[in-house]
Amino acid sequence: MGLSIEEREALVNLQKEKAENILAQIDGLRQLGYWDTLTGRLYYATFHAVCALLIQDAHPVGSHKGAVIMFHQHYVKTGMFTKEEGAFYSQLQTMREKSDYSCSYYATENSTTPLIEPTRQLIQKILKLLK
C-alpha cells in the first residue's frame, strides 16, 4: 500500500525539518570539540535530506545502506548529482559507522572540519529539489 500525497508530503517535511535541525547543531558541537558526535550529525543530516528526496520521488527507504544505494541509483547515475557527491555521502556513512562502532577510531578536528561545508552544500542542493 502506497502513501497518499498528503502522507508523502508530511513525511518529506518531517525529514527536511530533521536535516535542518541537525545542521543547526553543527556549530555548537564544533565549538565543544565533540568530533565523533559531529561526524555522526553530518551523516544524519545528509541521510534525512536524502530520505526526503527519496520519499518525495516515491523511492523506498528501508535502511541506511539502502538509502545510499537508492541515492546512487536514482540521482547519481542519472546525473542529478555528481559521482563526487555520491562518494561524499558514502564517505559520511562510513565515517559515522567508524565513529559509532570502532573502539580504535576517533574523529578529530582535522578529519571532521573539512566535511562541514561540503555537507551543507550537498544538503542545500538536495533541499532545493524538494517541492
Whole-angstrom CA distances from 62 to 108, 110, 126 are 31, 33, 19
| pLDDT surpassing 90 at residue 63 | yes
| Each residue's pLDDT tens digit, 35-49 | 999 999 999 999 999
CA-closest candidate to residue 123, choices 40, 37, 39, 51: 51
% of the chain surpassing 70 pLDDT: 99
Average pLDDT, the chain: 95
- DSSP H helices, the chain, are 5-32, 35-56, 64-71, 83-101, 109-128
**In the structure grid, which three cell numbers stand for residue 72, read together?**
546512487
Helix, strand, or coil here: 129? coil
The model's confidence at residue 124, banded by pLDDT at 50, 70 and 90, is very high
- The sign of the CA dihedral 40, 93, 51, 16 is positive
Tell me the whole-structure pTM to 2 decimals: 0.95
Q: Tens of pLDDT along 65-114?
A: 999 999 999 999 999 999 999 999 999 999 999 999 999 999 999 999 99
The three cell numbers of residue 75 are 540521482
